[in-house]
Amino acid sequence: MILQKRVLLCSVATAALAAMIQPLAAAPWQRGFVVATYEYAFRYGGRAGFTRKGEIEPGSDCLHGASVHFANDKNTEAALKQPFRSSYEIEAISRPPGLEMVRGPTITRFQIWNRAITYRGWKRGIETYVNPWAAEDPGQPEVTGKISSGFNLDKNSNTGGFVAEDGEQGIDHALYRAWGCDAPWRGDGNATLHLRANDKMQGGLYTMVIRISGNKDPMNDDNAIVEIGYSPDKITKNARGDVAADYSYRIVKSEQYTRLKARIRNGVVETEQVEELHAPRIAWWYNHVGGANLRKGKIRLEIGADGNTKGLIGGYRDWRELYTENTFSQDGGQQGIREHEDHVALYYALKRNADGIPDPRTGEKMGISSTYRITAMPAYVVDSEKSVGIAVIQEEEPSKHSFIAIREATINSTKTKIVHSVPPGTTQGAFPAMERTIKDLPSKEFFLKTLDRPHYSDAIVRINLNGLVDKDGNLVDANGNKIERID
């Protein structure tokens, strides 16, 4: 069997000699995997054979269908009814005057909508996505189904509200309830953001590996070890473009690494539940590649006869971190309009469904039960002979610094309820993209005068692909301080 061939025995010669004189004894073994797909374990309950065409229909998971925020001018108009906006302003934003006279009407309207929906607080000047609590809850369709993949994280069969496919009660997967009907995360193997994340991972953005080891039978071992972590080696593909089997990958034992005890029964690997489980997180741009910290985390894997594996990784994640990872990979307005999701609605859905990690001071739930689904191919996962860490792409570091800055500002804002400004270096509010795009629009002066925009330090004169730039063309940080390049 392929599976047997991939098990690493300590010594073939010793094993052969032992078989001649006594029954085969248990021997140390290990097996490695490279993760091929990595996504939220959201269950799709729509019709069989679904292919993405138009809006996503209702199903047993989402009786009210998927989110349709900003899908058309009427939906956008409904989101713009803040007290400070006049009827004329709302109408002009929803259907910009003179739009038919520009060369790119779709992108022009897109940038105007982006700028407008980025400022939906109780008064003008409050950026929406850094301060989502300052805007009204637009409402998010939530999962109505009762079946979900996941774990009974709190060991209470009366909580959670979901039942696993095998009938286990008390499955905790509140992230699925909150976000499972969000359009870009919903589909039958073709959810937009799942596809994007897996494509980026397989294309070399980051690599996640798993190593399992023990001293008995690889299919049945009550004292096994599971390691999960980041690898600096890019995923290797075969001639068909699929993740290839049996290549070697180093594992980095740093902040994106966890070692867990496990039991294996008939090829099913079940790890212990640990206080903190560290692993790489889902990402589709360099700026938000990093670690996912799952509290009360555990892993379950099923090893197939062909040596491939599939499984679940679960635990409680800080829901504010989840919010920022989804919102600021690019910018909230851009992704919202393109994907028909409203991150303000997603913020309130997370807050409403949070079910773990109570704040010791306020008692507020800071965590939300979450489950990730993976598939993985056999690989040789090895320790590096030399010290190695997380790969750094120097020219992309300014964008990562900007992401970290906006994440920190958003988390502080949501905790303190103090309005925070947008840190520079992001594309929030389509700035300065809107100004460039509407230059030929007859009504451009109205939008330039009426719509809010981010404002930064006088030391920062522009934003380019590499980050913030001062008047001399030097890369600078959010405070205008020069950033020295490391070649």
Sign of CA dihedral 131, 141, 277, 377: negative
What pLDDT sits at residue 478?
53
pLDDT at 149 over 90: yes
The model carries a pTM of 0.88
- Mean pLDDT across the chain: 89
What pLDDT sits at residue 14?
37
Q: Which residue has the higher pLDDT, 47 or 298?
A: 298
Q: Which two tokens stand for residue 408?
A: 């920190």
What pLDDT sits at residue 480?
64
What is the per-residue pLDDT across 53-87, written as a single tens digit (0 to 9) for each?
Answer: 555 678 889 998 899 999 999 999 999 999 999 99
357 — pLDDT class (breaks 50, 70, 90): very high
pLDDT at 198 over 80: yes
What pLDDT sits at residue 448?
95
Distance CA 128, CA 324 (A): 13
What pLDDT sits at residue 2?
46
What pLDDT sits at residue 468?
61
Percentage of the chain exceeding pLDDT 70: 87
Domain coordinates in residue numbering, the chain: 28-62+141-383, 73-139+392-476
What pLDDT sits at residue 49?
67
